[in-house]
Amino acid sequence: MSSIERQTYSNIETIVVDDHSKQEVEPITQEYASSCNVQYVRHKENRGANAARNSGIERASGEFIAFLDDDDTWEPEKVEKQVSAAQESGSGVVYTGIRHIGGDGKTIKEAIPDEVEDITTKLLYKNVVGSFSAVMVDADAIEVAGLPDESFPIWQDKEWYIRLSQYCSFIPVSELLVNHHRGDESRISEDFGSIEKVLPKFLNKYSTEIQRRGALKSRKIYSENFFNAARYGLATGNFDKSRKYAIKSAKYYPMNYMAFIAFVFSLGDGLLYSLYQNQLKQN
């Protein structure tokens, strides 16, 4: 809330959606009720992140809609620069760079976006835009493309961006204007279980879009998505499952050398991967 209060763009309507949290959220929002023009909404039961976003979208009255997850913060000029970029370019989606911060407060990674040609194809491979906290979307584009899909427990952003990209253009603001504060490893582990459920659902939903790219590119897209699942498996200690996805990735596109690296890292109960991770931490 304080990062919203510090925005240099003043005409902001803030809708806080409490997805039936155990924490006391409303008293915090009341502190910012005046300075941030806050509307507070509480779900009667926990319905998931996209349901919370959709509750906010449905109540929003602005021309542009931006999102801020509870583990993220915005830099002061974030909204102002996005509004300016949207008005100058006419793009339906404006996205920014993200600074990833660890539990010790140190920067882990900085992701600064470049303009991407054929954004739909790139998104079929992987999320090249970033999290919800980095995007600002024209309300008219949402009207046409539809709301975020509540049946997706993960890859919610990637799935929605693909739909939006079929109706509007995307433009980056190549600056680090969002700070993402990494959570604990247990959430990542839960995410891997969700990936196993969502991956076939995602590939089935967009099979026509994938096939339209031609035989070779389609195989590359399938390979990259299976590799991403293998990578998550390594990160969460699911080495047997990681190996399964690495093999699938290599079968679809044998030139994807990252799939072979994931396969090797998954052997021996991930011993080589653990040694590699320890070396990274020491450096």
The answer on 201 and 176 residing in a single domain is no
Q: What is the CATH number of the domain that holds 44?
A: 3.90.550.10
Q: Which residue has the higher pLDDT, 21 or 139?
A: 139
pLDDT digits (tens, 9 = 90+) for 97-141: 999 998 889 999 999 999 999 999 999 999 999 999 999 999 999
Over range 28-53, report the average pLDDT: 93
Range of the domain at 78: 2-181
Per-residue HEC secondary structure of 124-143 comes to HHCCCCCCHHHEEEEHHHHH
- pLDDT of 13 > 50? The answer is yes
The answer on 258 and 175 residing in a single domain is no
**Assigned token pair, 115:** 């303009």
Query: Which helix (DSSP H) or strand (DSSP E) does residue 110 occupy?
Result: strand 107-111
The answer on 36 and 95 residing in a single domain is yes
Q: Which residue has the higher pLDDT, 276 or 1?
A: 1
pLDDT at residue 190, rounded to an integer? 58
Distances (CA, A) of 19 to 65, 70, 206, 236, 258: 19, 11, 29, 26, 38
Domain boundary among 181, 197, 224: 181
pLDDT at residue 144, rounded to an integer? 98
Domain boundary among 181, 210, 243: 181
pLDDT digits (tens, 9 = 90+) for 173-182: 999 999 999 8
Domain boundary among 121, 151, 181: 181
The answer on 80 and 61 residing in a single domain is yes
pLDDT at residue 100, rounded to an integer? 95
The answer on 101 and 6 residing in a single domain is yes
The answer on 13 and 135 residing in a single domain is yes
pLDDT band at 275 (very low <50, low <70, confident <90, very high): confident
- pLDDT of 188 > 70? The answer is no
- pLDDT of 186 > 80? The answer is no
pLDDT at residue 277, rounded to an integer? 80
pLDDT digits (tens, 9 = 90+) for 228-256: 999 999 999 999 999 999 999 999 999 99
Q: Total structural domains in the chain?
A: 2
pLDDT band at 24 (very low <50, low <70, confident <90, very high): confident
The answer on 105 and 209 residing in a single domain is no
Of 52-61, 91-100, 229-238, 268-277, least confident by mean pLDDT is 268-277
The answer on 190 and 108 residing in a single domain is no
Report d(CA 277, CA 46) in Å as an integer: 35
Say what the pTM is.
0.92
85 backbone dihedrals φ, ψ, rounded to 5°: -65, -40
The answer on 220 and 159 residing in a single domain is no
The answer on 190 and 170 residing in a single domain is no
**Average pLDDT over all residues of the chain:** 94
Distances (CA, A) of 133 to 24, 269, 279: 22, 36, 32
- pLDDT of 189 > 60? The answer is no
The answer on 156 and 45 residing in a single domain is yes
- pLDDT of 208 > 90? The answer is yes
Q: What is the CATH number of the domain that holds 232?
A: 1.25.40
